[in-house]
Every structure is written in C-alpha cells, then in structure tokens.
Structure 1
Amino acid sequence: MAATRPGRLPGRHRRPAERQATYGEVIAIREFRALWIGQALSLLGDQLSRVALSVLVFQRTESPLATASVYALTYLPPIIGGPLLAGLADRYARRRIMIFCDLLRAVLVALMAIPGTSFAVLCALVFCVVLLSAPFSAARAALLPELLKGDRYVAGSALQNMTNQGAQMLGFALGGALIMAMGPYRALALDASTFLASALILVSGVRRRPAPLDTGTDRPSMWTMTRAGSRLVFGDPRLRTLVLFAWLCGFYVLPEGIATPYADVLTTDRQQVSFVAGLLMGSMPTGTVVGAFLFSRYVNPSKRLRAMGWMAMLTCAPLILCAMEPPLAVVLVLWFLSGIGGAYQLAANAAFVQCVPAERRGLAFGLVQSGLLASQGVGILVGGAAADVLNPAHVVAMAGAAGLSVAAALAVLWAGSCKEIIEKVRAEATV
C-alpha cells in the first residue's frame, strides 16, 4: 500500500485556494482610477456642506428636530425620484449620465454659494442636488463590475468604500474648523468645484461605451423599466434579503443625524460643540475604513459571505451601550466598533452583483441606493424627533437595539439561501 502523508486521507484532495485580489491590481486599471478619484473629490465637498448646514441650523434653532430635518434632506429625495431616475443608467450610456449629473450639480451648488440665498431656496437646491445623485450612483455602480472582474470587484469596492469613508471622516472631523475659517458660502463654492473636477476626470479617464439597452426607437418607458427592475430585485428571495441587509444602515446611521445635540450633552463648553460633533460624526466612518481594509484584505471571498450576518449585528450591538450614558471617549469607541461592522456591505454588494444581469444593474443598483438613502433619511428624521423629548444617548441605544433584532433575523434568512452564491464566488476566486 502506498504511503500517505500524516493527516491526509488517501483519495482526498484539498479544495483549491481562493485567490484574493490586491489593491495594486485595481489601482493599475486607468478607468477605475478615474471613477475612484472623481467620487472622492465630490464626496469630500459634500461632507463639508453637510457639516455647515447641520451646525448653522443648530446654532440658530437649538432644536435637534430642525437639525436632523436639514441633515435628512440630503437623504430623502431618492424616495420621490430615485427609482425612476436610476433607470437612466440602463437606458443611456453610463459615462454620459455621470458627466451630465456632475455638471448639473456643479451649477446647482454654485447657485447655493451665492450670498443672500434664502433658506427655502437653499433647501430646494439641496433637494435637486441629492436627487441627481441617484442616476450618477446607479451608473457608477453598474459600470464598476464591467471594469473589475471576480475578486477585483470586491477589492475595488473596498478601496472605494474606504476612500468614501475617509472623505466623510475628514469632512466631518475637519468640517467644523473649516466652516469657521472659510464661511459657509466659500465651502459651498468649494463643493461646486469638486463636481467640475469629477466631470473632467470622467471625460479624460473613462472611455465611451454604448447604452446597455440599445434597442433603437423601441425602448421601454421609464415606468416599465422601473416596474421590471422592482420585480427583479424584490421577486428573488436572495436579492430581497441582500437589499434588506443594505437598508439596515437606517438604524446605525441614525447617530450621525443627532451628533450635534449629542455633543451638546457630552460637553459643557458651548464653543466645543461643533468640534465634538465632528469627532462623533467621524468615528463611524473611521471604523468602516478599518473594517473594510481588514475584511477585504484578510478574509477570503466565501468566508466574507458567511460572516455577513455577524458583521451586520456588530453594526448595531455597540450602540446599545450608549444607554449607560458613557463619557465621550467611550462613545467614540462604541461608534468606531459599529463602523467596523459596516464592512459587511462589501460582501452584500458582491453577492448582489452575482445575482443581477449586467444589462439591468443600473436600475437594480439605483433601486437599492434609493432605498438606502431613504432609510438613512427616515432613520435620522425619527431620531431627531425622538431626541427632542429624550436624551440623545437613549435614542442611539434604542436604534441599536431595534437594528440588532432586524440584523439577527436577516442573518437567519441569509444562512438558508447563501450556499449557491458562495459556490459561485468560490469558483471565480479559485486558482
């Protein structure tokens, strides 16, 4: 009988190792670099404007509800127009959609930067700017899988996620100080310039491609496409579970919306409120940057999918401890841990791509993104209303408890339906 190595049974073979893509591989792709840099520029400008609006409104009204309402205004427009506008990313060339949206947003934000603009007009302009993010984000999300195949998509998504969270972290943490130094109108002018820069980068760095649904004059109506996309996304139990995983963020993003009133409770120095609010707003994005790096770099593709439910629960569980009204340092750690758990969105995104046909990705991603922003806006609005009558720390804890319950239910559903996707992801990642 032939000798065998200790610990290895005859006739058994090891499962092929799963190959993980590196950040260097995706950065080397020119078109990805254009999407990556352009998105980072515009997002950094957006965070500066959000901090300015949040701090100014609270200084004028000292109302958590008013502050959260203005902050929620940057999330709510997709409820109205997002699902319809996202279909443009499948109807027309995706590069053209992104460039057009960037240019139009630059014009609208430039109008916001005119001194003396009334508060009502400012809110209307903010609404339109955020509404245009729906087709832009749908086009970008649908184009990314065409540029990055296999695990490169996860590495690229992680890199974008870390960059986006880093931009949020810098925008939130430094926003208060910059607003004090520059003034709100100059900050808005800076935001307009980031959209222009993004458009120029897309023009030079992303090549032209035909429209995904090139059917000549016999194109389906936007309403028909939206209904078909809704049936696709919500008719499949796997996709439906993944969508609900994405929308779970409505619970754990709530603390950001009431960060300024929470900061007012944590410090007795009124001059320090905006600084403390910036620290609070930046703690979760910082955790997400760390979590995305560790999750994408040291966890193989199939294990990411298996760990998704546990990571989703981690986003909400630490927030429950805010009920004990801990000091600032402890709150920052709890929100940081919550941010680490948010890395589960990388796995959910990759699984979603596996289940959606390429020609329908624009609308599918747009529907998810619209619901994502809507859930965040509603969560922040509800949190602001609750913080008007309750301690902000207790509001955060209640959001964490509710989110943990939902995350646990989704984890059970996912465990029963993820085997097919895991096998497909493993097959693409093996060498």
Structure 2
Amino acid sequence: MGAKRPSGRHRRGDASRATYREVIAIREFRALWYGQGLSLLGDQLAQVALAVLVFDRTGSPLATAAVYALTYLPSIVGGPLLAGLADRFARRGVMLTCDLARAALVAAMAMPGMPFWALCSLVFLVVLLSAPFSAARAALLPEILEGDAYVIGSALQNMTNQAVQMLGFAAGGALIATMGPYRALAIDAATFLGSALILVSGVHRRPAAHHEDSKPSMWTMTTAGARLVFGSKKLRTLVLFAWLCGFYILPEGIAAPYAAKLATGTLPVPVITGLLMAAMPTGTVVGAFLFSRFVAPARRLRLMGWMAMLSCAPLIVTAFQPPLAVVLGAWVLSGIGGAYQLAANAAFVQCVPPERRAQAFGLVQSGLMASQGIGILVGGFAAERLGPEPVVALAGIMGVISAAVLAMIWTESRSDEATQVRAQATV
C-alpha cells in the first residue's frame, strides 16, 4: 500500500477491485476527467442547439437527423486515418492541438448569420478532429490506470460523461429558449479552451509510442491496426458489441420530431427534446455505477450479452405509442443496459499492445461513430415516412436480435479460450 507508483501509474492486479477514491486520487486521471467533462458539457448544449435550429428552419425529421448524423459520420474518415497520429506523436500534444483547433472552428460557428452550408462544413471539421483526440485520450488512460483501476476509471468517466450529457440535454432546451443557439455555440468554444488548459497543467509529457527512427507511414499503421482488430475472433466480437450502440442511440437522432408528437400545452417541444435526449445518459450513469461497483470483474464478462440485449429491448415499447413518462422510463432502462460497454472496453484493452492502442481505438471509434451516424440518418429517413414511434421500435427489435447473436458467439469464444487454458495446463 505504501509502495511508490512508478511513472504515476496505478498498478493493481486484474483480479483485485479498485475503488473510486483510489482512482480519483491520481492527478493525471483527474485532469483527463475534468477536461473531458468540461468540453462535453458544451458539446451537448451545442447539439441541442443544432437540432432545434434545424428543425425550426426546415420542419423536417430527415434534415434534423442528417445534421445530427454529421456529428458522427466524419469519424468514418477520421478514425482510421487520423487516430494513428496519437501513436505517431506525443498523445498529450495531439489532444492539445485538437482542442485549440476545435475552439477556433466552433467560435466561427457561433457567428450570427453563418450560412447553413458553412455551418454544416464546420460541424464536419470539428467532429473530424475528435477522432485523434479521442484515440489519444483512450490510449493514454491505460498508461495511467491498470487492471480494475482502468475499469473503475472508465466507469467514472462514462458516468460523468453521461451525467454531463443528461445535464446538457435536459437544461439545453431551456437555456437555448432564453439565450439562443449561437450563444450556446460560443459556450462550446470556450469549453475546448478550458479543456486545453486543464491538460497542460495536469497531464505529464510522454514520448510518442513509436520512436522517431521507426515511425511507420500512416497507411501502414492503418492497415496493421485493421489486421490486429479484425484478425482475432475475440477482438472482432468485442468490436461488434461496441458497434451495437448504433441501434439504441438511433432514438436520440429523431428526438426533436418525436418530441413534436408528444408535445402538450404544458411542455414545449425544445424541453421535451432535451428530456428525451437526456433519458439514455441518465440510465447509463445508473448502470455504469451499479455494474462497476457491485459486479465482480469476471462476472461482468458473463453478463455482457444479457446487458447488451437490455440496451435495446425497452425501445420496443414505443410501437404502442405510450405517453411521455413511459417513453422516458424505457429509454432510461435502455441506458442502464448500455453499461455492458465497460466490460467490452476493458477486455479490448487487455488484448491490444500499448504501442498500438490509439490506432486500434481509432478504428473501433470510427465504426462506432459511423454506425451511429448511419443509423440516425436511416432512422430520420424512415421516421419521415413511418413516424418516429415505429422506427424506434424497429431499432429495438433489430438490436435485440443482433445482441443475442453476439452473446452466443461471445459465450462460445470464452468456452474455447477456457478449453485452451485447461489444455495448456495439462501439458
């Protein structure tokens, strides 16, 4: 207990449990935690502003979903090609550069009178820069935390991120109704600057994962990362578990038109939109806390398939056109099921070499964001013809089926791995 921690890392055996207090006590983790939470708060406010602004201008669920999808689709390019920058260069430097560039771009978005096409272009560039930033942060976290401390740290970040989303979405509608969308975008720009200051003061400099004389080309890193991630059955299954969120995130993309269906004289559309977008993050906060605090590491892996099915099943209730309270409850329950991502993330980290983590995380994040963006775009297209309720229900049905298939593959993969371990032990 009194031993010095080398290089500021929290070292703990995989089988032992870490505590939230131990993880929060690590200064570098706090810096990553605070910076991410600050910039995310501004992002959620900006997303509500964009959704309300576009729906007010067009009245079209498809246009609203299309702009919302712009916050996901750039990662199709940015993930594979730009995430490797966080392995090629110092990860803290990559994060700082991305923060400063995004602050400038969002500040331009906050200028009143910005043409709609220019606004969409700036959104694309801002999200494009999130790929190397997220890859650098994801690769840096295992260097600071190890074993179950990494799971607890990931859970704490996840809970905080979802809580910030819940706060940003829920309060966003009311704030935008009073301050307007452009001021909300200006706040988002300021949060990126705040994040950069926190990173400078709280995160140590580290050398690049690849030495200067042995840095491969970006294309070589991208193809090698793809072979690593998709060449293993276990990693492929974990990646598909991560991408499953495309089904249960889809409702957020059509929250504004869904809110228009649920609007009453008491609650206006922007407020209902914020409540709907906050429901799943609320459930994820609860689920992440319960899953990380009360479930042992080995049991998390066994429950992963069941939790994945829970993340989609409650959405099916929207087929019956229930009232707002029931919809909110179902979406909260869906968010609780989404806590299975903690186990998938931890298992993925253990299988990837440290010097290739940023590229691997970038590829996964690319598919993750692309699946969400494409799902939201398809959902908006379908909602314009069928209405939002049946589209959300169909997403839930397809998600449950996909989760059940992945759960069976995962169980088989773990059984094969256990058989191999027993066979090696008898040799």
| TM-score under structure 1 length normalisation | 0.92
- 1:23 matched to 2:25? The reply is no
Counterpart for residue 428 of structure 1: none
1:183-231 Cα deviation digits (max 9, x unpaired): 1121111101100010011011000101001142x42110010000000
Percentage identity across paired residues of the two chains: 72
Determine if contact 1:322/1:397 at 8 Å carries over to the other structure.
yes
One-letter amino acid of the structure 1 residue matched with residue 120 of structure 2: C
Distance 1:318 1:65 in 2: 24
Alignment partners' CA distance in 2, 1:119 and 1:372: 27
Matches within 5 A, 1:304-323: 304-323=300-319
8 A contact 1:42–1:191 mirrored in 2 = yes
Alignment-derived partner of residue 71 in structure 2: 74
> Are 1:364 and 2:380 matched, yes or no?
no
User: What secondary structure sits across from 1:417 in the alignment?
Assistant: helix
Deviation, 1:271, is 6.4
- Contact 2:77/2:366, CA 8 A, preserved across alignment: no
Q: Single out whichever of 79-88 and 393-402 deviates more from structure 2.
A: 79-88
Aligned residue for 1:105, secondary structure, equals helix
Please give the residue correspondences for 1:165-204 in structure 2 after superposition, counting only pairs within 5 Å.
Answer: 165-204=162-201
Q: Matches of 1:203 and 1:407 in 2, distance apart? A: 41
Aligned to 1:64: 61
2:79 paired with 1:111? no
Tell me the CA shift for residue 269 of structure 1.
Answer: 3.7
Residues 1:42 and 2:39 are matched in the alignment:
yes
2:166·2:281 contact (CA, 8 Å) conserved in 1? yes
Name the counterpart of 2:128. 131
What's 1:337 paired with? 333
Matches within 5 A, 1:214-225: 214-216=211-213, 218-225=214-221
Contact 2:83 2:132 in 1 (8 A): yes
After superposition, the C-alpha distances for 1:355-405 in whole angstroms (9 at most, x for unaligned) are 000000000001111111111101100100000011211100000000111
Does structure 2 retain, via aligned residues, the 8 Å contact 1:89–1:362? yes
8 Å contact 1:245–1:348 — kept in the other structure?
yes
1:237–1:398 Cα change, 3 Å: same
Q: Would you say the 8 A contact 2:91–2:137 is kept in 1?
A: yes
1:239/1:355 contact within 8 Å kept? yes
Give the letter for the 1:187 counterpart.
A
Q: Secondary structure at the match of 1:388?
A: helix
Q: Matches of 1:17 and 1:422 in 2, distance apart?
A: 17
Residue correspondence of structure 1 range 251-262 to structure 2 within 5 A: 251-262=247-258
Q: 1:385 is matched with which residue?
A: 381
Q: Hey, what's the Cα distance between the residues in 1 that align with 2:282 and 2:242?
A: 19
CA deviations over 1:171-193 (Å, ceiling 9, x no partner): 11010111122111211111011
The one-letter code sitting in structure 2 at the alignment partner of 1:305 is: L
Write out aligned runs for 1:274-423 (5 A).
274-418=270-414
Partner AA of 2:133 in structure 1: F
Are the aligned partners of 2:177 and 2:270 in contact in 1 as well (CA < 8 Å)?
Answer: no
Q: 1:420 to 1:92 in 2, by over 3 A?
A: farther
8 Å contact from structure 2 (residues 14, 148) kept in 1: no
The one-letter code matched in structure 1 to 2:393 is A
> Which amino acid is the alignment partner of residue 284 of structure 2?
T
Closer, same or farther: CA 421–77 of 1 in aligned 2, 3 Å: farther
> Are 2:76 and 1:83 equivalent residues in the alignment?
no
Offset at 1:82?
Answer: 2.0
Residues 235-285 of structure 1: per-residue CA shift (max 9 Å, x gap): 000000000000000000000011111111112449611111111110100
What SS is found at the alignment partner of 1:69? helix
- Residue aligning to 2:230: 234
Structure 1 segments unaligned to the other structure (5+ residues): 1-15, 424-431
SS in 1 for 2:268: helix
Moved more, 74-83 or 162-171: 74-83
CA distance in structure 2 between the aligned counterparts of 1:138 and 1:376, rounded to whole angstroms: 18
CA contact (8 A) 2:314 2:330 kept: yes
SS in 2 for 1:21: coil
Asked if the contact 1:252/1:338 (under 8 Å) is kept, the reply is yes
Amino acid at match of 2:355: E
- The DSSP-based 3-state class of the residue aligned with 2:228 is helix
SS at match of 1:253: helix
Contact 1:90 1:212 in 2 (8 A): yes
- Residue 419 of structure 1, CA deviation: 5.3
| Rg comparison, structure with higher value | 1
Which of 71, 87, 98 aligns to 2:95? It is 98
Equivalent-residue separation in structure 1 for 2:152 and 2:281 (angstroms): 18
Find the counterpart in structure 2 of residue 426 from structure 1: none
1:246 aligns with 2:248: no
Separation in structure 2 between the aligned mates of residue 268 and residue 33 of structure 1, nearest angstrom: 42
* Cα offset, 1:17, TM superposition: 11
